[in-house]
Chain A
Amino acid sequence: MTHPGKKKQHADEQAQYQRLVAVHVPKPPLVRNLVAAFVVGGLISVLGQAVLNAFMSTGMALDEASAPTLATMILISAVLTGLSIYHHVGEFAGAGAAVPITGFANTIVAAAMDFKREGFVLGMGAKMFIIAGPVIVYGIVAGVLVSAIRWWTGM
């Protein structure tokens, strides 16, 4: 058993070391990262707007046009992922590439490409949603819950 006094001393040593590390660790280039995320995320949204407008020009309402718009964005991202281009966008733009639906599609395609080497059932099939899975899980949990509340309360 560790002596309690010794434990405290070790915790102090750790805290002291972490302060030393904080001095040496370079800060993330926040301004550069923010600008890159803003511009790339914005441009992907503009592309989405162009697709949305194209669908709406055929007479679809906004609600009707949203699903095919997202599907088209997913198609573009999937192809770019297959061509090994999308992860370069991610490296450059961080959240600018991760937050749009194109980033969501990238996680699914990238996982599928990677894990197929462990087989198409237990590899690709099982692990396709290894990163996108939580987004769907919590999207459904939160989405159904808030809609249930809104529906019941008749807001």
Chain B
Amino acid sequence: MGEQRRIGSSLRFASRPAIVATGTVVGPMEAKGPLTQWFDTVVDDAMYGERTPEKAERRFMQDAIDIALGNASLQPENVHLMVGGDLLNQIVTSAFTAAKYPAPFLGLYGACSTCTEGLIVAAAMVDAGYADIAVSVTSSHYQSAERQFRYPIELNIQRKATSQYTVTGAGAMVVARGAGKVAVTEATIGRVLDLGIKDPNQMGPAMAPAAADTLFRHFADLGRTPEYYDLILTGDLGSVGSSILHELMRKRGVPLGDAHRDSGAWIFQGVPGTGVGGSGCACAAVTLGGYVFKQMMANELSRALVVATGALLSSLTWQQGESVPAVAHAVALEVQPQAAATS
């Protein structure tokens, strides 16, 4: 306990809480992308047989939680804390889903950065001893997000060259105290930055400075370089936002290098009609819970840095002509060598 917990603006989780299981559920569009083999479940009908997309999104979230608990061989009663968030007004998906579980619940909103925001809160609570087992969950749904932030689904609208496509799906992570293989070692909480981007079709450019700021502080605080990590996964910047991020990091003298992937650009790589990539709370969540976690369990990756990015706008603020503030939260994950035998 004597170990330093706050390093500059970053956090170190001294007890090394671990992600012990994940659950990922996606819709049909995501299954067409290159990450499909890493998801636990693919649902062919994005509406999941429900009458409204909002209800369908809750089904996705509930499935993700149940799969994660099943993978961890836990019952809902074993969970001491649940944290979660989504894109819908008043985070109704998370709140309504949490009502189905006995665990105490903290609702979070960080737009598409909620995935790592939740993981930081869960890891900190477990690290501090307030919970032995915590679940962090996030979801998004193309149709529910589209009708809340943009237009009716059947409207004749031409996608812009910089538009992103909301990922339909949900990702849940079980964070537990004690020896687990994939440890949550450090985190850097993002600062909200607004560099004056007003076009709601340019979420990547709006979020890239926040990602750059968080990455830069993370490396500076911990005395690391991008090469320290086998994978640096940013959340839903898309291909345009990613190239801006690379330039911003180069200008600051910390080039990101080849280890960087963007979950938004990656999840829909080669899928037509998805613009410059995916977005939404589920985008980073299913990439982290699917690809990153499973590759770490398989010892294919030993250190990963996940930086989920969020654009903190509402449909009211952009109609009122306001620019888009953004935030990015980083979480460092590391494979614990000694845990290989115990797990």
**A contacts B: CB pair < 8 Å:** yes
8 Å CB contact of A14 from B51, B52, B196: B196
Residue B258 is within 8 A (CB to CB) of chain A in the complex: no
Residue of A nearest to B273 (CB): A91
Structural contact, B154 and A109, CB atoms closer than 8 A: yes
Complex Cα–Cα for A14 and B152 (A): 33
Structural contact, A87 and B154, CB atoms closer than 8 A: yes
Residue B161 is within 8 A (CB to CB) of chain A in the complex: yes
Identify which of residues 89-130 in chain A touch chain B, using a CB-to-CB cut-off of 8 Å: 89-95, 97-98, 103, 106-107, 109-111, 113-115, 117, 130
- The residues of A with any CB-CB pair to B shorter than 8 Å are 13-15, 17-18, 20-21, 24-29, 33, 81, 84, 86-87, 89-95, 97-98, 103, 106-107, 109-111, 113-115, 117, 130-131
Residue B160 is within 8 A (CB to CB) of chain A in the complex: yes
Chain A residues with CB below 8 A from B158, complex form: 33, 90-95
Structural contact, A106 and B161, CB atoms closer than 8 A: no
Complex Cα–Cα for A87 and B157 (A): 7
- The residues of B with any CB-CB pair to A shorter than 8 Å are 51-52, 147, 151-162, 195-197, 202, 205, 209, 240, 243-244, 247-248, 273
Chain B residues with CB below 8 A from A86, complex form: 154, 156
Structural contact, A117 and B52, CB atoms closer than 8 A: yes
Complex Cα–Cα for A126 and B161 (A): 33
Chain B residues with CB below 8 A from A29, complex form: 161
14 contacts between A and B (CB under 8 A): A13-B195, A15-B196, A17-B209, A18-B196, A25-B202, A28-B160, A84-B154, A87-B153, A90-B155, A90-B158, A91-B273, A113-B152, A114-B147, A131-B151
Structural contact, B156 and A97, CB atoms closer than 8 A: yes
Chain B residues with CB below 8 A from A25, complex form: 161-162, 202, 205, 240
Chain B residues with CB below 8 A from A92, complex form: 158
Q: Interface SS of chain B: helix, strand, loop or mixed? A: loop
**Known pairs A20-B244, A26-B162, A130-B152 / 12 extra A-B pairs, C-beta < 8 Å:** A15-B196, A18-B197, A25-B240, A87-B155, A87-B157, A91-B157, A91-B158, A92-B158, A103-B156, A106-B156, A114-B153, A115-B152
A53: min CB distance to chain B, Å? 26
Complex Cα–Cα for A93 and B153 (A): 17
Structural contact, B244 and A24, CB atoms closer than 8 A: yes
Structural contact, B157 and A14, CB atoms closer than 8 A: no
Q: Interface SS of chain A: helix, strand, loop or mixed? A: helix
Chain A residues with CB below 8 A from B273, complex form: 91
Residue of B nearest to A90 (CB): B156
Chain A residues with CB below 8 A from B153, complex form: 87, 110, 113-114
Given A20-B247, A21-B244, A131-B151, decide whether A26 and B161 contact each other with a Cβ distance below 8 A: yes
8 Å CB contact of B195 from A17, A33, A91, A111: A17
Residue of B nearest to A37 (CB): B158
Complex Cα–Cα for A101 and B202 (A): 30
Structural contact, A110 and B154, CB atoms closer than 8 A: yes
Complex Cα–Cα for A50 and B258 (A): 58
Sorted nearest first, the 9 A-B pairs with minimum C-beta distance are A90-B156, A114-B152, A14-B196, A110-B154, A94-B158, A17-B195, A21-B205, A110-B152, A110-B155
Structural contact, A107 and B197, CB atoms closer than 8 A: no
Structural contact, B240 and A27, CB atoms closer than 8 A: no
Residue of B nearest to A15 (CB): B196
A52: min CB distance to chain B, Å? 22
Structural contact, A89 and B156, CB atoms closer than 8 A: yes
